[in-house]
Structure 1
Amino acid sequence: MQQEPHEAQPPGEAATPLIALRGVRASLGGRPVLHGIDLSVGPGEVVALLGANGSGKSTAVRAAVGQVPLAGGDLDLFGTPVRRFRDWARLGYVPQRSTAASGVPATVREVVASGRLARRRLLPLRRADREAVHRALDLVGLADRAGDSAGALSGGQHQRVLIARALTSDPEALVMDEPLAGVDLASQRLLAETLRALAARGTGVLLVLHELGPLRPLIDRAVVLSGGRVERTVERPELAAGEDEHHPCHPADEAEPAAGYPLRTGIL
């Protein structure tokens, strides 16, 4: 996927976080889930969010993309308070993997193309849109399956389609909720290669993970949640030494809406 790197920060200036949560509180169904989360992702950073079942990981990332309203605290996206933020195409979101195509017949290409609507809301797609879809499919290794039914894909391939859909808008920050859940090792390694390329060109990445697996060498920082609070932060040297040791959890650690094809992610 040959694309220009995102605009670099001027020399000598501290990079503005792409995503910044400060003292964020949030509830689901009237039940408090987050109790003052501080979390940031800078350009080119890959940050993992770890924690046990019910720790608040999925709620935290959904809050970060504007899907869960804040009960308190602040969320800035690209230096802009979320209440004033409008340029959602800069932020890509990959929800927890759908296990079916939601009964909607669609090809892999059509599902991925739906992500292009973050940049333009009208059909048909133009040449630039079609090229972006092809680049995204090529990056995740599914260009040869573009015309296949999305319902015929394996779990790992479904996950790669969701990633490609998010990448069609060329996001500057990418948020992924349990991208390794139910995904075979070959797909995990391909995901690691994809994220390495994105981070190298300045894309910030926030991942909810059960364990680091093949992504371990890419992670700059792991934030461990417990009971809706940040328990500790593990930096790269500790991660390299295996100090994260994963917290047992399940792919859905809070009640989540179904993430089917080819619906909008909710942030467009």
Structure 2
Amino acid sequence: MTIGQGEFRGGERGTARISGVTFGVRTAIYSRVGGMAIFEGDIALGLVDEFEQQLAEAREQAVAGDVASAVGISGSRFRWPGGLVPFTVDPALPNPERVRDAIAHWEQNTRIRFTERDPAEHVNFVRFMDAGGCWSFIGLQDSGAQTLSLGPGCSVGNAIHEIGHAVGLWHEQSREDRDMFVRIDFANIQTGQEHNFDQHITDGDDLGGYDYGSIMHYPRTAFSANGRPTIVPVDPAATIGQRAALSAG
């Protein structure tokens, strides 16, 4: 359905891959208007059918043969030296076994290692504590102690997810190529929570192919205002938002 008129026409959202002299291939959101991909109301990018074919081919290439799948914060200053993360566990943290189990899972499945903080040796470290809810900073903050919060309702899977943030990962649906794989339905998002669906294009690096099964991916109804999906995978059979374990990538 086409809405508006003149130079302010819109329609169903689609995704195009475009490139220019000063930038490489990137995605752009367009409106489907009479078979044409219209950008910003009155700019024709090309035929919708051609963009959909390009997108299908790019999607197949993006997921074929990739191992590492994530989006990480840009910049070496956010990396933990040697992949070693010093940590402490607040004595008041409820169910501290969650931390040990989550750390063991990371060490069993990745090269990242964790060590109890030695004050004489480690200036920067992660402090697991209950600061209200499940949350973490992204990557090394170089500020001494950095909080990773695990409230009473945060599971081992939540702890694995938050450690993912602490070692430098954004949410999977924040990737630059996310519009090739999911559609964000802004009409269903709680008012004022739209920023939670921003992409990290200038401060993130896509790693490998898109991973629907990532523990860093939002579930379908994240921040929903009405119980309807806010994230709709292009693959209708895809399962997103699990908080059980790290995926293979």
TM-score normalized by structure 2? 0.31
Greater helix content: 1
TM-score normalized by structure 1? 0.30
Q: Whose radius of gyration is greater, 1 or 2?
A: 2
- Higher RCO, 1 or 2 (CA under 8 Å, sep at least 6)? 1
